[in-house]
């Protein structure tokens, strides 16, 4: 048993999709979440900048006495996981390997798609993970840079003409590749699952990277006998920009009200 909290971070609000899953499958855990909303999106930036930001995010989270960190950001996981693991003496869990394992288990045709940020696609992390974990899979990737800003604006529902048109444009190429499984390689994208599902059709299975990283965290903590034991865990939220803005959208990602539970911090101090 280990009662210490789990730290979770993302460039913005997307990582809350992982928090939702963590709370669902490990309700006794305490969670500390940091969303770097003052610098979102990371996905169009260089690897050096992403690493610099991710190190600051980690330093902030490590100011708490944590038992593990979940990098609930596809962009950071694809570009910096190994460095962050090497620099920290607690388990650091990313989204790539868990999502690749799930996609490999789901695909029947061996034709898998990936949608993610530009920096995630450019990193080649998914190709490397498939080569190691499921070498028979053929991966077709597409960067979708407009998805994150649209989700952060709450423009993610079916019937919204803008997101529907953007999704149609990004996904038509992957559809033509006849994939049967699509990895939503960014933790913002589960909010687009309905819109993406409309375009891809019901026969294409969608893999939610946040949910897979939450499952990987549970497996790891179970193996280490480090799960918490209490009737109900608590979550606290930190953001690098306005708490009101964070909370307004957080309820959409978490599907619960988190009013007055968020604190603003200055990430440049870390
Ligand atoms: N949730 C982040 C990810 O998974 C958002 C990307 C961004 O900040 O551009 O990649």
Ligand 1 centroid distance, CA of 34 (Å): 13
Q: Is 144 a known active-site residue?
A: no
Ligand 1 centroid distance, CA of 175 (Å): 23
Separation between Cα atoms, residue 199 and residue 54, nearest integer Å = 33
Instruction: State the pTM of this model.
Output: 0.95
Separation between Cα atoms, residue 140 and residue 177, nearest integer Å = 8
User: Which of 73, 95, 185 maximizes ligand 1 atoms within 8 Å of its Cβ, making it the mutation to test the pocket?
Assistant: 73
Closest C-alpha among 177, 183, 180, 206 to residue 193? 206
Separation between Cα atoms, residue 68 and residue 185, nearest integer Å = 22
Q: Please identify, by atom number, the ligand 1 atom nearest to the C-alpha of residue 120.
A: 10
Q: Give the binding-site residues of ligand 1, using a 6 Å CB cut-off.
A: 10-12, 14, 40-43, 73-75, 117, 120, 148, 186-188
Q: Which CATH number describes the domain made up of 6-94+211-269? A: 3.40.50.1860
Separation between Cα atoms, residue 207 and residue 107, nearest integer Å = 11
CATH level 2 (architecture), domain 96-209: 3-Layer(aba) Sandwich (3.40)
Q: Is 186 a known active-site residue?
A: yes
Three-state SS string over 79-99 comes to HHHHHHHHHCCCCEECCHHHH
**Domain ranges across the chain:** 6-94+211-269, 96-209
pLDDT per residue rounded down to tens, the chain (270 residues): 999 999 999 999 999 999 999 999 999 999 999 999 999 999 999 999 999 999 999 999 999 999 999 999 999 999 999 999 999 999 999 999 999 999 999 999 999 999 999 999 999 999 999 999 999 999 999 999 999 999 988 899 999 999 999 999 999 999 999 999 999 999 999 999 999 999 999 999 999 999 999 999 999 999 999 999 999 999 999 999 999 999 988 988 888 888 899 999 999 999
Distances, alpha carbon 86 to alpha carbons 16, 55, 92, 126, 196, in Å: 25, 12, 9, 20, 36
Tell me, yes or no, if the two domains 6-94+211-269 and 96-209 fold the same way. Answer: yes
CA angle 230, 234, 236 (to 5 degrees): 155
Residue whose pair of structure tokens reads 């028979």 in the numeric block:
136
């Amino acid at each position: 048993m280990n009662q210490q909290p789990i730290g979770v971070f993302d460039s913005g609000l997307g990582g809350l999709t992982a928090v939702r899953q963590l709370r669902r499958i490990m309700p006794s855990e305490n969670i500390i979440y940091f969303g770097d909303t003052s610098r979102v999106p990371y996905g169009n930036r260089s690897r050096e900048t992403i690493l610099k930001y991710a190190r600051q995010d980690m330093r902030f989270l490590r100011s708490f006495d944590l038992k593990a960190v979940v990098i609930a950001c596809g962009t950071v996981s694809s570009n910096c996981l190994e460095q962050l693991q090497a620099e920290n003496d607690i388990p650091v869990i990313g989204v790539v390997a868990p999502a690749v394992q799930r996609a490999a288990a789901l695909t029947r045709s061996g034709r898998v798609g990936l949608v993610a940020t530009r920096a995630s696609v450019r990193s080649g992390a998914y190709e490397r993970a498939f080569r190691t974990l499921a070498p028979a899979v053929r991966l077709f990737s597409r960067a979708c840079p407009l998805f994150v800003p649209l989700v952060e604006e709450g423009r993610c529902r079916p019937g919204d003409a803008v997101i529907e048109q953007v999704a149609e444009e990004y996904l038509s190429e992957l559809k033509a590749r006849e994939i049967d499984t699509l990895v939503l390689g960014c933790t913002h994208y589960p909010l687009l699952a309905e819109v993406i599902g409309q375009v891809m059709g019901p026969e294409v299975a969608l893999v939610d990277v946040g949910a897979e990283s939450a499952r990987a965290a549970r497996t790891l903590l179970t193996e280490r006998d480090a799960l918490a034991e209490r009737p109900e865990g608590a979550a606290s939220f930190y953001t690098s920009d306005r708490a009101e803005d964070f909370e307004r959208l957080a309820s959409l990602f978490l599907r619960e009200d988190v009013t007055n539970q968020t604190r603003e911090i200055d990430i440049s101090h870390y």
